[in-house]
Structure 1
Amino acid sequence: MFIQTEPTPNPNVLKFLPGRDVSSDPRDFVNVDEAAASPLAEALFQVEGVKGVFFGYDYVSVTRDAQGLEWPQMKAPILAAIMDHFVSGAPLMRGGAFDSASPEGDDSEIVLEIKQLLDSRIRPAVAQDGGDILFDAFDEETGVLSLRMRGACAGCPSSSATLKAGVEQMMKHYVPEVTRVEQVI
């Protein structure tokens, strides 16, 4: 198995591409307790310096502690953990351990439009950088759209620029009811 690595705009996140599907539903693990839901995430958190793990559709993003080890010291044990997991045939998630981050419900027409735009145009672009953006809320009175950043996007120095220059402009263009986009932390 050959696993490629790619840098992301966030210097503390590295993207690992195992050359196969990883997760049909992106998953974010920000601590070792959450990682217990996944054998792979749990193994990655055992690598010294790992601070976060994100499963994308065809990649794994790993966040390192900025004050800890450098990527050259961490890359080999991370690659080994990913390779061992996929070669073993173990499931990505332990049974029923994780619910989707976006609850289903009776969404308004505007919210459905926003979610469709996120899924079709924005999330695929953000995934190229090892991250994800999720719908959090939309205030129809003020037009404020709240989004949640995950993976490489969470804590990235350029995430606010991505939100304002990219996402906000696109949302305002296609969904005129959106007046502003904010990041939920």
Structure 2
Amino acid sequence: MSKHQITIEATNNPSIVKFNSNQLLTQGGSYQYNNVDETKESPLSKQLFHLPFVSKVFISANFIAIEKFDIVEWSDIEHEIRELIEMYLNQGNEVVTSAAEPKKVSIEIYAESTPNPEVMKFGSNRLLTENDFEYKNESETTNSPLAAELFKYVFVKEVYIAENYVSITKNDSVEWNSDIINDLRQFIKTYIEENKLIIDETMQMPKVEIPTVDIKELEGTSLDIAGILEEYVKPAVAADGGNIVFQSYDEETQVVNVILQGACSGCPSSTVTLKNGIETMLKEMLPNKVSAVMAVNG
């Protein structure tokens, strides 16, 4: 069995640091411990509370978040904590016992239509994933038990899971109606409430056919374009159950290539959105640098 490898990730809260594992820590659900007295069913949390600066411990499927008191700085202790957690896990010790009760969260799932008549968006009041995952068919769902279950509905053609919503594309065998929508909404709600694993983000998935780039590796006009898409376009697209990803920029032709996902992929109005919305915005914000915006998969 491969070993746990722990990486350190800062958060928006300077008192909290996440320790991410390359393997699953739990089989779904999350656990929060506010003091050592609550850690009867979490041996790892009990060990961490022996450290005088630990205020709270939060455990999820693939990370452990620790909140500290202000008596020390993370820069002085985070590497030692990483080594401690890594050693503990690689010795085969338990993170939580089978009797541990996940943190109870009130789940609300709401259904929304999207500009794509084939796609319905199911929003959640709970974080589902920290990354976006697109599944074109059931064979691609090896890292997502939730997506695999959704494909058991004979009318489900594609599934897209993002931060706080699931977009479902149907095939031509049915039309969206209240019975189908309510059935899916209730299924997703129950699945999450039962603390089942949504996505195993530690799994190495096959690379997508269409290559993308890391925004951190961009520079010049490419970086400017990607930044505009992230700040101004993505939020609006996500509201409609989709996603847009910068792929490339050709300095000679000034053509921007993007990838459309979720409700945007195959949407009849996506071409209009690209030309009248995104392309116009980029031309106005980056004068004489953009000639056209093209969807490489749409």
Q: TM-score, normalised by structure 2?
A: 0.58
Once residues 17 and 48 of structure 1 are traced to their aligned partners in structure 2, the CA distance between those partners, rounded to angstroms, is: 22
Match in the other structure for 1:119 = 230
1:75-114 alignment, distance < 5 Å: 75-94=181-200, 95-98=202-205, 102-104=212-214, 106-114=217-225
Match in the other structure for 1:70 = 175
Is the contact between residue 158 and residue 169 of structure 2 (CA under 8 Å) also seen in structure 1? yes
Once residues 243 and 217 of structure 2 are traced to their aligned partners in structure 1, the CA distance between those partners, rounded to angstroms, is: 23
Match in the other structure for 1:181 = 293
- The Cα offsets for residues 66-93 of structure 1, whole Å up to 9 and x where unpaired, read as x212223532442243123211223322
| Superposition CA RMSD, Å | 1.9
Match in the other structure for 1:46 = 152
Match in the other structure for 2:10 = none
CA shift at 1:115, angstroms? 1.0
Unaligned runs of 5+ in 1: none
Once residues 245 and 132 of structure 2 are traced to their aligned partners in structure 1, the CA distance between those partners, rounded to angstroms, is: 10
Once residues 40 and 77 of structure 1 are traced to their aligned partners in structure 2, the CA distance between those partners, rounded to angstroms, is: 15
Once residues 87 and 29 of structure 1 are traced to their aligned partners in structure 2, the CA distance between those partners, rounded to angstroms, is: 23
CA shift at 1:122, angstroms? 0.3
Match in the other structure for 1:144 = 255
1:10-49 alignment, distance < 5 Å: 10-49=116-155
Once residues 198 and 166 of structure 2 are traced to their aligned partners in structure 1, the CA distance between those partners, rounded to angstroms, is: 11
- The Cα offsets for residues 37-74 of structure 1, whole Å up to 9 and x where unpaired, read as 21111111111200011112221110000x21222353
CA shift at 1:136, angstroms? 1.2
Structure 1 residue 61 corresponds to structure 2 residue 167: yes
Higher-helix-fraction structure: 1
Once residues 270 and 134 of structure 2 are traced to their aligned partners in structure 1, the CA distance between those partners, rounded to angstroms, is: 17
1:152-163 alignment, distance < 5 Å: 152-163=263-274
CA shift at 1:151, angstroms? 0.5
Is the contact between residue 254 and residue 291 of structure 2 (CA under 8 Å) also seen in structure 1? yes
Q: Which amino acid aligns with 1:16?
A: F
Q: Which amino acid aligns with 1:114?
A: I
**Aligned residues between the structures:** 184
CA shift at 1:13, angstroms? 0.4
CA shift at 1:28, angstroms? 1.2
Is the contact between residue 21 and residue 57 of structure 1 (CA under 8 Å) also seen in structure 2? yes
* Greater C-alpha radius of gyration: 2
Question: Larger relative contact order (C-alpha < 8 A, sep ≥ 6)?
Answer: 1
Once residues 62 and 142 of structure 1 are traced to their aligned partners in structure 2, the CA distance between those partners, rounded to angstroms, is: 36
Is the contact between residue 129 and residue 199 of structure 2 (CA under 8 Å) also seen in structure 1? no
Once residues 24 and 163 of structure 1 are traced to their aligned partners in structure 2, the CA distance between those partners, rounded to angstroms, is: 26
Q: TM-score, normalised by structure 1?
A: 0.91
Structure 1 runs of 4+ with >6 Å offset: none
Determine what percentage of the aligned residue pairs are the same residue.
Answer: 35
Unaligned runs of 5+ in 2: 1-106
